[in-house]
């Protein structure tokens, strides 16, 4: 994992499954999903905010085993 990301992992979940799983857990714990603000094409991602913290989930692509490579970061909300 490279800056500005805090950690990464690989999963057999595909994009909608991954985002749905995170969305359910995050919403249940008080996080609010933010609407995308960029007008250009980006990697699949979601941004969530809670108590002045921003949580980014971004799918980087697939690894050699065809698993989704996911990087996440926590930082102060902008």
Average pLDDT for 74-78: 86
SS3 for 3-62 is: CCCCEEEEECCCHHHHHHHHHHHHHHCCCEEECCCCCCCCCCEEEEEECCEEEEEEEEEE
Rounded to 5°, angle at Cα 59 from 58 and 60: 110
What is the pTM (predicted TM-score) of this model?
Answer: 0.84
What is the rounded average pLDDT of the residues 38-45? 72
- pLDDT-derived band at 39 (thresholds 50, 70, 90) equals low
Q: 38 pLDDT band (50/70/90 cuts)?
A: low
């Amino acid at each position: 994992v490279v800056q500005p990301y805090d950690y990464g992992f690989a999963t057999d979940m595909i994009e909608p499954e991954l985002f749905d799983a995170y969305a359910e857990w995050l919403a249940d714990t008080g996080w609010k999903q933010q609407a995308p603000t960029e007008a250009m094409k980006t990697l699949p991602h979601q941004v969530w905010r809670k108590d002045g913290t921003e949580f980014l989930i971004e799918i980087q692509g697939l690894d050699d085993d065809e698993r989704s490579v996911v990087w996440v970061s926590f930082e102060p909300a902008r």
